[in-house]
Amino acid sequence: MAEKTKCEICDRNFKNEDGLAMHNLAKHLENVKKDKPFIYNINGDSSSIKKIRNWGIIIGVIGILIWGIIALIPNSGGLPPTDIQGHIESNPQSHVLKKPMRIEIQKHMLEHADGVEKGKGGVIINYNCKDYVCEDKLIENLESFASQYDYVYVAPFKGMSSKIILTKLGRIQTFEEYDFESIKQFIEF
């Protein structure tokens, strides 16, 4: 049989030390040693519930921060989008951009150029002259397509896995060199 433990203050007997400790926490808190790193749960088992809770909160916050950072990286795949999932109802400032077009806006232009409901889907020409050596007049040549076709957009796209990538809804074509005829064919068909 388990050895009984006695409370010296109120002369009460308990089955074990855990029972006595819970009693002291409830009735004689002023006499409980402050150096104990644990608390008791309702079953009388000693555990570090506060530590578990605190670590859970820390891990949760870190997880949310990591998810947020990953969500903010728009070009993580190295390819521009070809779908409209997650698009926003916003248009770019012009058809020729000197700064990267937001992914959400690219997706909207793939759905319909200039945001015209039930309008023709757009074609986006992205280029990457940060990671690739671009020949003279490459950007100028690409931008000329935007003046020829009212549904074509041209913008830089840093971190892209090719020098030139054309996208339209559900289609993508990559180029390592400028090819006027192939680009024109992609735009028109």
pLDDT digits (tens, 9 = 90+) for 53-102: 889 999 999 999 998 877 666 544 578 999 988 888 888 999 999 999 99
| 115 — pLDDT class (breaks 50, 70, 90) | low
Task: Indicate where the chain has its CATH 3.40.30 domain(s).
Answer: 103-188
Record the tokens describing residue 86, joined without a space.
Answer: 């997650």
Average of per-residue pLDDT values in the chain: 85
Q: Which of 73, 84, 22, 28 is nearest to 47 (CA)?
A: 22
Q: What 3-state class would DSSP assign to 117?
A: coil
Quick one: pLDDT at residue 153?
A: 96
Quick one: pLDDT at residue 74?
A: 53
Record the tokens describing residue 159, joined without a space.
Answer: 């971190």
Task: Name the architecture of domain 103-188.
Answer: 3-Layer(aba) Sandwich (3.40)
Quick one: pLDDT at residue 18?
A: 84
- What does DSSP assign to residue 140? H
Query: Is residue 41 predicted with pLDDT exceeding 70?
Result: no
Quick one: pLDDT at residue 185?
A: 96
Edge-to-edge order in the sheet of strand 171-175? 152-156, 123-127, 164-168, 171-175
